[in-house]
Structure 1
Amino acid sequence: MLEWLTNPWVIIIIVVSVVVGNIAALKQTANMDLTGRGKTERDLDKLNRLDKLNQEKAEKEESKDNKDA
């Protein structure tokens, strides 16, 4: 049994399996990061839009206060 486990072909198959498994795991985590990054950009766009609306509203109130004074 020990001779079979120390056979170079068996060792090569085990090493290749480990490497392929690690590459597959890295590809999965890379895809998860990309989807998260896309969502963050959408959230950032939403925040920018809301900030622009708030600035416009503040400018309108400021100009209204200046006309009243």
Structure 2
Amino acid sequence: MPIRQKLEDAAILLPDEVDLLTKVFAATSVQGETDADREKRASRIIANYQLGIRDETELAELSRRPLGR
């Protein structure tokens, strides 16, 4: 699962943080999504979490949007 690897690479997180991010990742999956799409979605979830967003619903909503540059 892409998000587990990314979480291991991102930083030290507590188990409940990993559980939250994994839950958001699972809840936002889209049928027919490519590996690249999953990687991008996992990156968006982690990036938003690192920006301080801790609400599960908000993380899920933001994961559907491209990262701002």
Shared fold (TM-score greater than 0.5)? no
Name the TM-score, length of structure 2 as normaliser.
Answer: 0.30
**Between Structure 1 and Structure 2, whose CA radius of gyration is higher?**
1
Name the TM-score, length of structure 1 as normaliser.
Answer: 0.30
Greater percentage in helix: 1
Higher normalized contact order (CA 8 Å, seq sep 6+, divided by chain length): 2
